[in-house]
Structure 1
């Protein structure tokens, strides 16, 4: 009589209150209320059944994406939404989800008052079918996060980054800033190639946090580590020149390694475009946004998209309420 279906029915409210509850805690609740215990493997099935009933199954969630896009367009006119499906070789099989790109009209209107620096990065999803969440985050005038576009794709490769960059470019074309945008990325898994082919007119920056990881492999040691950050964080040509001179004395190959990165406007602060009014040289702010999603990355794709929408909406609305209290 003590089956997984019965247990999921009597424990659903406990799992709803805490989606991350452990199997050991569920067993303790069953013993306290009903005097029974279940195997740990069975409790994992119980939790899976309950979560599927609470948030919907992963299969059904993907099937609802076309309707979700149409709902966004009808309730938020002016939003930029695109969903792609592919046909497998066997024509008798149904279409398979490929990618989805979303940006709401209200967020795009607020982007006009943000800085022109855009950070892009990917985060792996932990659902049944995996996938990658690609996100674009800007910085507002107070240097706080302003997420405005996100996409779900099958993997982080050149084709999917081309899909994301192409939609991002077409979406930002109507904001009236021309080619004044600057994109900062980690240069990994095809993103640099996608930016070069599809949006070469936009300015580019490299994440120094990812650059230093490769630097330490080629030039280990605390002295070279400090010289790397001194050259990347130099605010004046004089400071940059001093860092290069010290680097030549320690290891001349390090200067050659830095020169292979390309234009200095992409990795050292004293060459950054001053019109942006932003000296950020790391993509930590994009990774911070991905970290705020938390358990949503484990849930079905539709629940994940709603979680991102709610996260962004609450973030912007709370800032507006706070600034309304300022004395003008």
Structure 2
């Protein structure tokens, strides 16, 4: 059978085998059939690992000065592979904010493994991979090696570095070791998951995010007090982490970024989803094709933008702010200082020379706040940060990633590299996704309603009660199918039962049900004695 689409799963193959040839195959046979089809299209997994040294040489030949590194263990089994294309590194240094996200995702091929990644973000908030690291496990040793390899490249940026990650101890320790002096941040989405796990009330979410997103410290403190009143102990937990890691009010203004989460790294994990099941060499080549397409598309798109302007995301935000500019009145003070007041009398002090507003949003984001937009709407001044300009955006994509030749054209290498040891557990795969603590696992079950007895939590196939006739209770002396319980009791199914909320008495081992008609009472099951 030919695998036509990347989204075919073993269960799809089982269904196709039955519908076309009336053959019933088990899950693992379908899984291996899918694996053979993938190998036919993308190459053999074992041979791909043997070609890792030649892959590195091909990348260095087609993309000089790129970072490529690999290592095998004492048994000649591939331990890791690190790739960072020069075009991506140069674009990050020239036109991107000194901000990266660190995250990892699981591979889905025969030998599984993990893909660790460092992701950059351009001025239009578009993610782009900076470096990838293919290894066996997501642990401290591999994060140490990954950051050790890319740290010299990251430190070449003109400004200090900001690193966003989840609160995994392996990543935190590696950042402290290899990126000393950087500005670390913790993804507040992961922090909030712990908060919502311990304090489950709905308004906790609003208070927690209001605390994290406040730009002024006075607003931060007020929201934190409100959060502590609603969830006792949450203040100690958050302050124990360190507000400089997750609070906008405590971010250093030199970085011009107010990002609280590493969602853009999660976007990258979805972006390479189609490549994560391929053999290692095909996977790296496939990733390079995706990166080539992004660079070309964004370069082509930005060629139509005004070079002296700002990127579309910023332009859209400023346009929304301009709609509100009539809500404010300006009072000049002198030497670039102004006071902006709204119709309620609240006012803010602005300094155009230093690009500062009393609301602190301008300093943190590098983007004029609504008060500043009112003031400078008619002034032709470069009042947004350089990283948000079209010129910087274009420079981040001006380099090109050169194509890598196909594996069939590579010469035979002298190195002997074996694939990693298979680590898949010998058990039946889980069919259902593991749900988060804040997801209702029984929501769908609770919505089921029996069409016979109108009770929730069952359907008519599993119902032990009888159907309703006209909504009246006419079940006196009714008999039906019986089934003895494990405790020696019996159940009776009667006809004409209203709702399964009544009382019943079971007599004998047969469990005959006796109904008692009354106001709002009916018998669905009879409890045997």
Deviates more, 1:19-28 or 1:120-129: 19-28
Distance 1:45 1:160 in 2: 30
Distance 1:269 1:252 in 2: 23
Q: 2:67 corresponds to which residue?
A: 80
Distance 1:246 1:28 in 2: 60
Distance 2:61 2:263 in 1: 35
Q: Is the 8 A contact 2:155 2:161 kept in 1?
A: no
Q: 1:194 corresponds to which residue?
A: 174
SS of the equivalent of 1:190 reads helix
Q: Is the 8 A contact 1:108 1:148 kept in 2?
A: yes
Change (3 A) 1:74 1:231: same
Q: 1:4 corresponds to which residue?
A: none
Distance 1:271 1:161 in 2: 27
Q: 1:131 corresponds to which residue?
A: 113
State yes or no: 1:250 paired with 2:235: no
Q: 1:166 corresponds to which residue?
A: 148
Deviates more, 1:229-238 or 1:244-253: 244-253
Distance 1:28 1:261 in 2: 55
Change (3 A) 1:261 1:54: same
Distance 1:101 1:300 in 2: 15
Distance 1:103 1:261 in 2: 32
State yes or no: 1:103 paired with 2:84: yes
Q: 1:91 corresponds to which residue?
A: none
State yes or no: 1:231 paired with 2:211: yes
Q: Is the 8 A contact 2:84 2:130 kept in 1?
A: yes
Matches within 5 A, 1:147-186: 147-177=129-159, 180-186=160-166
SS of the equivalent of 1:135 reads strand
Q: 2:283 corresponds to which residue?
A: 304
Structure number with larger C-alpha Rg: 2
Q: 1:321 corresponds to which residue?
A: 300
Deviation at 1:136, TM superposition (A): 0.9
- Correspondent of 1:206 among 186, 208, 217: 186
State yes or no: 1:23 paired with 2:26: no
State yes or no: 1:289 paired with 2:268: yes
Distance 1:285 1:307 in 2: 20
Q: Is the 8 A contact 1:205 1:267 kept in 2?
A: yes
Q: Is the 8 A contact 1:186 1:206 kept in 2?
A: yes
TM-score, normalised to structure 1, is: 0.85
The number of residues matched between the two structures is 301
Superposed CA RMSD: 2.0
Q: Is the 8 A contact 1:137 1:145 kept in 2?
A: yes
Distance 1:209 1:305 in 2: 30
